[in-house]
Amino acid sequence: MTGEEVLNTFQARGALLTGHFLLSSGLHSPRYLQCALVLQFPDEAARLCSALAEKVRNDDRIGRIDAVIAPALGGVIVAHETARALNVRALFTERQENVMTLRRGFAIEPGERLLVVEDVVTTGGSTREVMKVVAAYGGIVAGAGSLIDRSGGSADLGVPRHALATLEVPTYIPEDCPLCREGSIAIKPGSRG
């Protein structure tokens, strides 16, 4: 699957929006990704995640994977479908009082090799938090993956990393936003009406 095919899939599902958006960070952007709109179709989720699993499998630096792990909520489906393709278990972490934690009786055995995945990597912050959880259990982060890399390829996680497509998305502080200057108003993506 080429990056272009992946982005076309997102576009076709209305998951790659163009306009004037207010991001949760407070920044404005002309593009917005709503991965859930693609992942709501189980066959699309399976197709994309098996393509990600194939990239991981073909990377000799990553080696054996014992489990896939992702931050909830955004990463859960990606972890599940990637794990299915790799025939390993799928775990997820959750924030508890703002700290990324492994709950629900999930366990990582010392020496187990994990793949950390997300739907979209922007700065890699969430992936890094999950990597810390894995390390705290004595697990080894063998690699990382996401469907989309929104960092334009610049996010460095210190482990081999794969994405199906790379997207360079400009963001602006409201005072410097050219779209605001043109007179339009930034909207919160996902809001209706």
Q: Which of 36, 159, 180, 187 is in the footprint of Zn ion by CB under 5 A?
A: 180
- Least CB distance to Zn ion at residue 30 (A): 9
Angstrom CA distances, 101 to 23, 73, 88, 155, 173, stand at 25, 13, 21, 23, 32
Using rule CB under 5 A, residue 22 touches Zn ion: no
- Give the H/E segment covering residue 89: strand 89-96
- Least CB distance to Zn ion at residue 123 (A): 20
* DSSP secondary structure letters along 121-178: ESSSHHHHHHHHHHHHTT-EEEEEEEEEETBTT----SS-EEEEEE-B---B-GGG-H
- Least CB distance to Zn ion at residue 189 (A): 13
Of 28 and 161, the one with the shorter C-beta distance to Zn ion is 28
- Least CB distance to Zn ion at residue 26 (A): 11
Using rule CB under 5 A, residue 28 touches Zn ion: yes
Residue carrying the six token digits 């299915």:
84
Q: Which of 45, 100, 108, 186 is in the footprint of Zn ion by CB under 5 A?
A: 186
Angstrom CA distances, 104 to 78, 88, 192, stand at 19, 18, 34
Q: Which stretch binds Zn ion (CB under 5 A): 40-48, 61-69, 138-146, 177-185?
A: 177-185
Binding residues for Zn ion (CB under 5 A): 28, 177, 179-180, 186
